[in-house]
A and B are shown apart, each in its own frame.
Chain A
Amino acid sequence: MKKNTLVNIFKVVVGLFVIVVIGYFIYTTTKV
């Protein structure tokens, strides 16, 4: 696999992780 592809996969994974974390912050507001 090309280095560029791996970098892009890493970026997408980081992006998803950030979305999941932000989602958790918002989700918790609905539980308080």
Chain B
Amino acid sequence: MNIKSKIKEFKIKIKQLDYRHYIAAAITIAFAMMTIFIFPNAFVRIGEALRDLWYSLCYYIKELFYLDWNISVSVNAYSKVPWTPIFGLPATWEEFIVKWHEYWQVFADWSNVQSYFSYLGDLLYYISRVLLLVVVPLVLILYLLFNRYLSKENNDYDQDSKALILAKKIATKTYIPVKDWITGFVAFIQEHRIYTKIWLFIWAFNFNLITIVVEFVAYYLYFCVSFDFANMYRQLYKLLCDLSVPIAFIPTIGWIILGYLFINWLRRKIGYSRLEHFENQNCGFINERPIVMMLCGTMGKKKTTIITDIALSQEVMLREKAFELLFENDMKFPYFPWINLENDLKDAMDKHIIFNLATIKTFIQDKRQVWENTPTKDNIYNYDFERYGVVYDDKLKINYIWDIIETYSKLYFVYIIQSSLIISNYSIRTDNQFMSLGNFPLWDTDFFQRDSRTIDENSRYAHILDFDSLRLGKKIIEDNIKKDSFEFGVLNITEVGKERKNNLSLQEMKIKDALANQKNDGFNDTLKMIRHSATIDNFPFIKIITDEQRPESWGADARDLLEIVTIDETLPKKLAMPFFALTELLYGFVFGKFTNLYYKYRFKRSDNTLPMYLLKKLVAMFNHFYNGIYNTFGYCWVTTQVENGTMDGKILERKYYIMFKKIYSRRFSTDCFSDFFTQKALQSTIGIDDLEEYGTDKATFDELKKQNSYFINDLTRKQDEFDKKKID
């Protein structure tokens, strides 16, 4: 290719380049120019810092190896740049001591307090003047406009006023394109992260942040061999001198914005850490409970919410436990090439040779047989057994390599199953993220920082519970393909009493019945024995979580196996994120006023006017922000009473936290059986509006008869009998 064609190709590339690259490049050049013309001293300081670093490094090596080098350390020298440090910090420690005493004298001086309050007064006067000049007239205008609008009534459905039409036209030409362009440019910059990195580097350089880091390393190297405490103050002085550049350059409004961003970052961080803390407390609550538990409470007490929440946490805990045990077993034979075993297992899973714990057992036993017949490295996943051995003594027993391989394989199977570990009689959404680069996979099990827009992409749903898989005796479908499928996992059964019923409701049922019923299906035996199928490395990978309105609804034979958690009280919602009180107050005030005004307006008018359009837009923005915060950081807790299923033991008081982001993020449907009632209602030809009403405040005899009530029917029958006797 000749030079001409190369130039031509380059020109075409330039032409095809997104024009926003030029803007980003221009911004970069402008920032670089600012470095040269506004922050030239940053070059001097970085030069000094690098010099300090070099001498400190030499000094460090010299002291470390007792070398005979003649080095004069420069990190304690003052900078040549004549900057004044922030807070007017004096240059030497001696001066600082004098100033320190002086500071506290002035601090305690009443005239200083007065002068401070006079300064604050001036500031408040200035702020209130701005408010008076800008905000008050605006509010007055809006008030007058709304008064005018509310004095007129109309039925102009969805008609825009002339002012609103004009405003929309202007916005279409000005505000919307500008907003779209800025949004697009921000997305462009986020996509091309190189610009952000360059800009951050330039401004870190301009504000001496790079210098500060270099100086810190220089002083650290010097200090850790010299222990020179005397010159520590000088470093503080130099630090405050360097920081004086951003302090002086960034205007007050910039500091206010930066302060807000910092507080916002801080409060969100605190909020997330509090939610994590509550989640850990919930895990403690779940771990305290036995394998089977039943949650009880009256309607609307959040029973299903809590059992779903428990199932989500338990699923994560099962995977974490598998991970922990995998590591423990890995350490028993540290030189075993586990990756070869893992790849073999994955391959067998893909081919459906392995699909449960039992098939793993036979799979590994076959491999073991082959190795025992022909003990080569190839037959034991390339493990050098002659060099590293095949037994491990844990001081309790001797562990044989193939037993550990079998345990590891079962744990790995539990760990890498990508579908949900929850099996339930209603749907539950999980969104744990499986991360794999083809090596050992990791799970992202976070509940609180998920992007709600990506729910559909990353969700898995609970497996459908086939009750036949929990029946050791008769089954609804005797040759059910899924009847032996259940081994381990989190089993969630809502309204368990309606499924299993109690002894009273089952009086008519007989064990000898030909068809499966609650007495002959061996469900309770499954509950009693279920941990045996789910135990790996002495840990049961099983939890059965049920709910019902009252414990007695489930028969005593099953109930005696479990713990009953009764929901006592649900406390009001709270916010895990701090520093939100001012916004909360403002929201309460604004939203209360707006709701009144809005429904007065909706009552009187149906058209769209400019002030209402703007006001609603602003209030909606505020409302979305407020709801977003509460949906992310909101929580409440329920107080519970825990007792044995025999209901004769000690009652424990426990707390359980409900975090909104975790449980209300489309996790389950509170009306999980509503489809049944929808089908029932669809068969009806009349609705509430078609139902007859009582004629007066006292029901007539005919009206009472229309109730089809046992009670009224009894009364009517008695009346009829009485009338008959009277006639006779």
Contacts and interface: CB of A to CB of B under 8 A. Distances in A.
Interface of A: 4-5, 7-9, 11-12, 15, 20, 23-32
Given A5-B588, A8-B585, A32-B99, A24 B116 contact: yes
B124 to A, nearest CB: 11
B120 A32 contact: no
A1 to B, nearest CB: 10
Contacts, number: 45
Interface in B74-131: 87-88, 99, 102-103, 106-107, 112-113, 115-116, 119-120
Given A28-B106, A29-B103, A31-B106, A15 B581 contact: yes
A16 to B, nearest CB: 9
A28 to B, nearest CB: 5
Nearest to B581: A11
B104 to A, nearest CB: 9
B585 A28 contact: no
Contacts of B484: none
A9 B582 CA distance: 8
Which secondary structure characterizes the binding site on chain B?
Answer: helix
Contacts of A31: 106, 112, 115
A27 B585 contact: no
Interface of B: 87-88, 99, 102-103, 106-107, 112-113, 115-116, 119-120, 579, 581-582, 584-585, 588
B588 A23 contact: no
Given A32-B88, A32-B99, A32-B102, A27 B581 contact: no
Contacts of A20: 120
A32 B106 contact: yes
A31 B585 CA distance: 36
Which secondary structure characterizes the binding site on chain A?
Answer: helix
Nearest to A27: B116
A29 B88 contact: yes
Contact of B87 (A4, A7, A23, A26): A26
A27 B119 contact: yes
Contacts of A24: 107, 113, 116
Nearest to A9: B585
Contact of B581 (A12, A23, A30): A12
A12 B106 contact: no
Contacts of A29: 87-88, 103
A4 to B, nearest CB: 8
Contacts of B102: 32
Contacts of B585: 5, 8-9, 12
